[in-house]
Amino acid sequence: MAEKLEAKHKGGTLVSRKIEYADTSDPAEICFERGWSDGLPVTPPTDERVLAMLKGTRRHPDEAVGKIPPYLGTCTVEKAAINAVMAGCKPEYMPVLLAALEAALEPVFTLHGVLATTYFSGPIIIVNGPIARAIGMNSGINALGQGNRANATIGRALNLIVQNVGGGRPGEADRSTLGAPSKYTLCFAEDESDPQWEPLSVARGFPRGASTVTLFQGHGPEAFVDQKSRTPEALSRSMGSSLVKIGHSKLVESARAVLVLSPEHYAIYREAGWDRKRIERALYEATTRPGRDLVAGADGIGEGVPASRAGELVPKFFEDGLMVVRAGGPAGLFSAILPGWLAGRNRLELQPVTKEIKN
């Protein structure tokens, strides 16, 4: 009743266009019919729900967050809240969503390209800091899967904003050949339970204790299984053998990747005293191979590097092309690879983006 009374008196402060429909119509079906859904049911954004969502941020509803590609529709805080309602968010998720949206609009994230590419990619969201715990995000068992409201709906809300405010609909501006389930949502928190581990946010220049969101252009996950390696050297070589297959084993310096390191694999590194930098360096070296094995035509495979690189040692990634994060449950020697968009060959023009989360 309180929300209904507030909507009755404050509903006029909402400036987004109102949709009129007959009492006999189902508002959820109207959302499907008008193309506001990602294919799954959405929560109808009533005045009551939108006003409640706006309480999750101190920012004014009329504040413009930015222009959303491909059609450069202006997204206000209010419109972000509307899509957050539709996605099933709670009001306390709003600061994370707004930070993720601002990260997506940074030029080096190239949101228009991520949307319009024929590849599999979409925005992957990684959250660090106290806010992840405060809103109940999952960094443990099934962190990349279903079952956690914050993980599922924050990523979904960002994609709905691109679709509903920017006009980025599949088959129109979204030209992905096959797409991926991660285009619905792929959002999770990093496991920061070990004080010896340097979180991704710190590695990307933010102080410990800061709440941040990192956006990566990718898809996934792809499984990595090694239940027998027990030294960090052996495990790194094993992981390297899977990482080189991203896109194609002969495609090099074309995509970044995120390695999601599970607790049991991480324990092998931790017990040997390896930190983030040493792990990432070992993986870089493990994915560097002789050019003669990678040239186009070798082994009868047309894909590959120019013959001029046959005498080189060729890395799979640029030196900053692999990010390691910790997540998952202590239930198996399995980790995950989140492959990046192949446009990563434009190293300076396409980069992950990290933003601090503010209310």
Q: What is the mean pLDDT of the chain?
A: 95
Residue whose structure tokens are 């504040």: 63
The alpha-helical segments, DSSP class H, found in 71-205 are 77-87, 94-104, 111-116, 130-134, 149-164, 200-203
Residue whose structure tokens are 């198996």: 332
Q: How far apart are the C-alpha atoms of 238 and 93, rounded to whole Å?
A: 38
Provide the residue type at 138 as one letter.
Answer: N
pTM value is 0.95
At residue 62, the pLDDT reads 95
At residue 12, the pLDDT reads 61
Residue whose structure tokens are 């710190």: 202
At residue 199, the pLDDT reads 98
Banded pLDDT at 25 (limits 50, 70, 90): confident
| Domains identified in the chain and CATH numbers | 19-219+351-359 (no CATH), 220-339 (3.30.2320)
Q: How far apart are the C-alpha atoms of 269 and 310, rounded to whole Å?
A: 33
In the predicted model, what is the mean pLDDT of residues 52-81? Answer: 97
Tokens linked to 13? 């402060």
At residue 17, the pLDDT reads 83
Is residue 296's pLDDT more than 90? yes
Tokens linked to 235? 């495990």
Residue that wins the pLDDT comparison between 345 and 169? 169
Q: How far apart are the C-alpha atoms of 140 and 144, rounded to whole Å?
A: 9
Residue 264 has phi, psi (to 5 degrees) of: -75, -35
* pLDDT digits 0-9 by tens, 110-134: 999 999 999 999 999 999 999 999 9
At residue 359, the pLDDT reads 81
* pLDDT digits 0-9 by tens, 150-168: 999 999 999 999 999 999 9
DSSP 190-249: -----TTS--HHHHTTPPTT--EEEEEEE---EEEE-SS--SHHHHHHHHHHHHTTSS-T
At residue 10, the pLDDT reads 60
Is residue 92's pLDDT more than 60? yes
Banded pLDDT at 183 (limits 50, 70, 90): very high
> For residues 56 and 70, is the Cβ–Cβ distance under 8 A?
no
Banded pLDDT at 22 (limits 50, 70, 90): confident
Angle of CA points 227, 336, 282, to nearest 5°: 75
* pLDDT digits 0-9 by tens, 300-347: 999 999 999 999 999 999 999 999 999 999 989 999 999 999 998 888
Banded pLDDT at 20 (limits 50, 70, 90): confident
> For residues 347 and 241, is the Cβ–Cβ distance under 8 A?
no
Whole-number percent of the chain with pLDDT over 70: 98
